[in-house]
């Protein structure tokens, strides 16, 4: 992935989030406060609006900027979680012009570690980590298989439906949280779906 | 205010809630620096690192800061600012915004209390049944 593809990834993500804004907020009414769609749209709109100004930045700086914009504009708990993930990608890719297999592997490992630290959560808690973690786990030194990544993200998202939520406001529901997809896991799936689409188009 | 005091910073998802809490706590001791950070730009509900950071910059660099938060992202954003300002003496208090903040303001107002002491008193010192 180069800088231009990263920008395209953000645009595709923002499009998907706009398209699914109501669905995300509706999911969040079950396990949160019903504003995940609105929050994510606001965050990624802020990212997309700045992409032209950021086009000459290094990939590492671009990731840092995306992270800061999300932290400052999402407004809900997803802000610091997504923000930290992108900032960690930025830290991991300091010396990288183009993200290849090993860089994806190390960057995503750092991002997952960042989300876990920030949210004091682990995989299985019914959060966005249940999408990020399996995606990171299938990366190795080879160029990522984007179809596999999209599938892993989708499976991770679907599995949150049967989990008892242990973090965030959903945790107050205990067993009652079972039967609902985690909104952060769903928005993360759209993020990785957008990534897969961007990278497939780039190669085609 | 002279430096080396403990300032209290209240972070809430709602601007008027943070302001209202500040007003209440400030009444306990007008000499203590009590700061409010609520909501997003444009009055929307949420918390933002930028807004928290702007207030941290307003506070005397010699002062320690004890942060109180309400729900969800408020604590995570407080932690992000704490990490960004590693050189500053900032602690996050795991006591309720109002009750804990009140005890903290009174304790900080004694003048000789360290950040650790103000945090401890706030976390241990309030009781709903007291």
CB B87 within 8 A of CB B110: no
Residues of chain B neighbouring A73 (CB-CB closer than 8 A): 40, 48
Does residue B1 fall inside a structural domain? Answer: no
B64, part of any domain: yes
Q: Residue A93 has what pLDDT? A: 97
Is B80 within 8 Å of A77 when comparing Cβ atoms?
Answer: no
- Predicted confidence pLDDT, tens digits, chain A (204 residues): 999 999 999 999 999 999 999 999 999 998 888 899 999 999 999 999 999 999 999 999 999 999 999 998 998 889 999 999 999 999 999 989 899 999 999 999 999 999 999 999 999 999 999 999 999 999 999 999 999 999 999 999 999 999 999 988 888 888 998 999 999 999 999 999 999 999 998 764
Domain boundaries, chain A: 3-202
- The pLDDT tens digits of the residues spanning A169-192 come to 888 888 998 999 999 999 999 999
Write the CA distances from A79 to A24, A75, A176, B11, integer angstroms.
15, 6, 25, 15
Q: Residues 123-162, chain A: which have Cβ within 8 Å of B?
A: none
Mapped to the 3 state alphabet, what secondary structure does chain A carry? CCHHHHHHHHHHHHHHHHHCHHHHHHHHHHHCCCCHHHHHHHHHHHHHHHCCCCCCCCHHHHHHHHHHHHHHHCCCCHHHHHHHHHHHHHHHCCCCCCCCHHHHHHHHHHHHHHHHHHHCCCCCCCCCHHHHHHHHHCCCCCCCCHHHHHHHHHHHHHHHHHCCCCCCHHHHHHHHHCCCCCHHHHHHHHHHHHHHHHHHHHHC
Is B84 in CB contact (< 8 Å) with chain A? no
The domain tally of chain B equals 1
What integer pLDDT is reported at residue A31 of this predicted model? 84
Q: How many percent of chain A have pLDDT more than 70?
A: 99
CA–CA min distance B20, chain A (Å): 20
Which CATH code is given to the segment(s) A3-202?
Answer: 1.25.40.340
- Per-residue pLDDT tens, chain B, 130 aa: give them: 445 799 999 999 999 999 999 999 999 999 999 999 999 988 889 999 999 999 999 999 999 999 999 987 899 999 999 999 999 999 999 999 999 999 999 999 997 889 999 999 999 987 555 4
Tell me the CB-side half-sphere exposure of residue A142, using CA atoms within 13 A. 7
Active site residues of B: 13
Residue B46 placed within a domain: yes
Task: Identify the CATH number of the domain in which residue B70 sits.
Answer: 3.40.50.510
Q: Is residue B80 part of a domain?
A: yes
Measure the CA–CA gap between A175 and A157, rounded to whole angstroms: 18
Which residues in chain A are contacts of B76 at CB distance < 8 A?
A: 77, 79-81, 118-119
Whether A73 and B48 lie within 8 Å, measured CB to CB: yes
Q: Which residues 4-63 of B are in CB contact (within 8 Å) with A?
A: 40, 44-50
- Taking the CA of residue B46 and the nearest CA in chain A, the distance in Å comes to 4
- CA–centroid distance for A80 within its chain: 12
C-alpha span between B106 and B126 (Å, rounded): 12
Q: What is the pLDDT of residue A149?
A: 97
Report how far residue B62's alpha carbon sits from residue B46's, in angstroms, rounded to the nearest whole number: 29
Residue-range definition of the domain harbouring residue B81: 6-125
Whether B130 is covered by a domain: the verdict is no
Nearest to A105 by CA among A151, A129, A76, A140: A140
Which of A50, A74, A75, A128 to mutate to test binding with chain B, by most B CBs within 10 Å of its CB?
A: A75
How close A167 gets to chain B, by Cα (Å)? 10
Model ipTM value:
0.78
- How many Cβ atoms sit within 10 Å of the Cβ of residue B30? 9
Give the pLDDT confidence score for residue B129 in this predicted structure.
54
């Amino acid at each position: 992935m180069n800088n231009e593809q990263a920008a395209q990834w953000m645009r595709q993500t923002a499009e998907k989030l706009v398209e699914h804004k109501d669905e995300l907020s509706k999911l969040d009414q079950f396990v949160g406060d019903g504003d995940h769609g609105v929050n994510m749209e606001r965050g990624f709109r802020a990212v997309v609006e700045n992409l032209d100004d950021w086009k000459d930045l290094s990939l590492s700086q671009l990731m840092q900027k995306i992270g800061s914009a999300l932290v400052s504009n999402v407004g809900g708990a997803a802000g610091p979680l997504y923000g930290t993930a992108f900032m960690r990608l930025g830290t991991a890719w300091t010396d990288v012009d183009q993200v290849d297999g090993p860089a994806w592997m190390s960057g995503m490992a750092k991002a997952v570690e960042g989300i876990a630290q920030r949210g004091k959560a682990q995989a299985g808690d019914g959060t966005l980590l249940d999408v990020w973690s399996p995606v990171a786990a299938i990366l190795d030194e080879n160029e990522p298989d984007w179809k596999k990544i999209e599938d892993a993200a989708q499976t991770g998202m679907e599995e949150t439906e049967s989990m008892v939520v242990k973090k965030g406001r959903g945790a107050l529901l205990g067993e009652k949280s079972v039967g609902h997809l985690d909104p952060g896991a769903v928005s993360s799936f759209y993020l990785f779906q957008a990534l897969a689409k961007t990278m497939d188009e780039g190669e085609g | 205010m002279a430096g080396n005091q403990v300032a209290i910073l209240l972070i809430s998802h709602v601007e008027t809630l943070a302001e209202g809490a500040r007003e209440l706590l400030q009444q306990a001791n007008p000499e203590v620096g009590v700061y409010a950070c609520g909501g997003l730009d444009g009055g929307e509900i949420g918390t933002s690192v930028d807004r928290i950071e702007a207030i941290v910059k307003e506070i005397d660099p010699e002062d320690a800061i004890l942060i109180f938060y309400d729900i969800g992202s408020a604590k995570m954003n407080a932690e992000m600012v704490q990490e960004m300002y590693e050189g500053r003496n900032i602690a996050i208090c795991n006591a309720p915004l109002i009750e804990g903040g009140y005890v903290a303001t009174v304790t900080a107002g004694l003048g000789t209390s360290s950040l650790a002491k103000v945090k401890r008193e706030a976390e241990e010192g309030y009781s709903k049944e007291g």
